[in-house]
Structures are given as C-alpha cells and as structure tokens.
Structure 1
Amino acid sequence: QAKVPSAVYEPPKGQYFRHVVRRGETLSRIASRYGVTVRSLRSWNRLSSKSVIRPGQRLRIWLANAPATQKTSSKVVRYTVRSGDTVFSIAKRYRVSISAIKRANRMKTFDIRPGQKLIIPR
C-alpha cells in the first residue's frame, strides 16, 4: 500500500490578529463576529471537529489581503485610522454604534491613533 502524504498546513496570506476566547463564546459565534467560517477558524488554529475552546485561549483570525477599508466579508470592515478620526466619526461613517466598535476591537478607552487598524462590525 502506498502512503498518502498528510496535508501540510499553510496559513493564508495576509494579516491576522489574535482573539482571546471569553467565557461562553463558541467557534460559531466568533466566526460570525468576524465574518469567517468555523471551518476556517478550525484550520487556522489547528483545531479538530472535537476540539473544545476555552476562556483565555488565543485564536488566530486571518484577514484577507485587501485595502484597509475594503470589506473582507459581509460582517466586517477593516479600517485604518487617519489623522483627525475619532471613534464617533468612524461609527457615524459606517453607521454602527461606538460601543460596537469598542467591543469588536476590545478597546478599554475610545483613544485611537493614526495608522491603528480597527475592525468595524457590519
């Protein structure tokens, strides 16, 4: 019998960030929040279908190679903060609440700086 080589894991191209799992979160909820599939989350984080995520666990969330303001899915927009931006002005531009931006980016304050990358939930 010939052996079939096992699949080699190759991370997607582009940037990723880390999501720290909170109590009560599921892969499905996390995937929905960032506009990715559960299957992708499992692949990126080498999780089997039987793996259980735990609070404090760090998951990689990959974002497509796209300009900062281009939609990467129907649920999320990546935005690069420009000089003069405020969380309020960005929220107004994208018609989302400032608390939604704060929550999506796990911000403790509303302080932002030019060049900072934000996730805008849609």
Structure 2
Amino acid sequence: MSRQNPLQPKSSLLEKKSRNRSGLQMVMIIMAVHVVFLGGLLFSGCQQENSIPPLASSTNSIPSLPPIDEVAEPESKTNNVDIVTAPPVVEVTNTVSLSPPLPIPLDIAKPISDNPQLVSEVVPLVPASTPNTTEVPVSSDQSEYIVVKGDNYTAIARKHSVTIAALKDANPAVDPNRIAIGQVLIIPAPLPKKIEPDLEEGVIQYQVKAGDNLYTIARNHKTTVKAIRNENNLKTSNIRPGQKLIIPKPTLEE
C-alpha cells in the first residue's frame, strides 16, 4: 500500500484523484464516440449494398420509333420455296391423226371421162429414173479377174493375152492407175490366134528370150538386123521377151 507523503497536503491528493477520474472518463467518451462512428459506417455500408437496384438486362432489341408519315415496313425474308408444277409431258407416238375428207365439188366428183376440163389437165405419171445398180453382165467369152498384189494393166493384159486397150474398154469405170487389191476386173475375150503363114524353106520362127536383141539374133542365124526388121515390119529395134520373130534365110556365110 502506498503511504501518504506527510509533506503533501491532503487537498492536493483529492485534486489528483479527481483529475485521474476525469481523464478516464474522457478516454471512455472518445472510445464510445469511435465505436458509434465505426458502427454507423458499418451500418450505412450494409444498407447501401441492400439498396442497390438490379441492373437492367442488356438486350439487342432496337427501340421502336414513332412512325413518320407511315413508313412501309420492310418485306420479311423467309425461306419459303415456291413449288412449280411441271407441264405435262406430251407422249410422242407414231400415230397419224386423219382429218375428215374435205367435201368435193360436184363438178369434180364426176368421173374424169365425163368432165372434159379435167381430161385436159390430167398429167401422165412418169416413173422417176432410178440409177442403174445392176451388175454388168459378163458374156460367155469374158471372164472375171481379182486383182492381186503387184498387178497392173500391162501385167494383167499380158497374162490373159489381151491388149491394154481392150482391157480398158471392158472396164470403163475403172481408173487404170488406181486399181486396188481384191478389185474385180472383166477380162475380155483373148485375141484370136494368128494363123501362122506357111514359111518358106530356110525361114524359121524364133521366140525372143530375156537378154536377146536383134544384133545377137541376127548373128546367131547368119542374117542381118535390117533383114529381120523388114521381115517382121519392125519400125525400131526394140523387142521384148516372148515376142515371136520370123528369121529370114541365112545370107551370111560361115
């Protein structure tokens, strides 16, 4: 326990106690003010949170404007599909519709023999000329020949003992320079064999062979080229294999 200072008067102690008591009251008042202030702040904050109005929900709607002189509404787009009915298909047939016959006047309905006007107007019907597609008949003395590879008019004529002119006459529609393999040609009748004249004594008939010429033939038969040409009516000295020549009598001695 504190002892009272004997030097200190009693009145000063009372003042000191009262001063301490007033300081404590002041502290309590300040704390009470702070508590009240903080409580007010907390209360006002809670009240503001509860009093916040809900936000208006955001929409994409466009506010409608008042009509200005009756503006026409735009045509709404739709996905509607218009179904068009196809026209009926006309069936194609080969039938021919026959119309009823037209009435014939009485002057025409009479027989033609009784109507001289129609008799003069009758036109005789002439059949149209048709191309001649029939095959050319082959006579008994003619024959048919099928062209083979390597053939020409000269070889064919020589093979059948006819002349080239006769072969052309028998095939007038054929170009001699354009005959094809497998083409059929008409071979005319062969030339009649000449009747060999009776040869004089010492005169012979000679068939030309390959490699022959008038000079070698004349030398082999002891005659001259001029004599052979005169005997056979040759205008030139050209001869061909197979050709027959009349050799005159020998005129040259060995």
- Note whether the superposition's TM-score is higher than 0.5: no
Between Structure 1 and Structure 2, the one with more strand by share is: 1
Which structure has the larger Rg over C-alpha atoms?
2
Higher relative CO (CA 8 A, sep ≥ 6), structure 1 or 2? Answer: 1
Scaled by the length of structure 2, the TM-score of the pair is: 0.21
Between Structure 1 and Structure 2, the one with more helix by share is: 2
Scaled by the length of structure 1, the TM-score of the pair is: 0.43
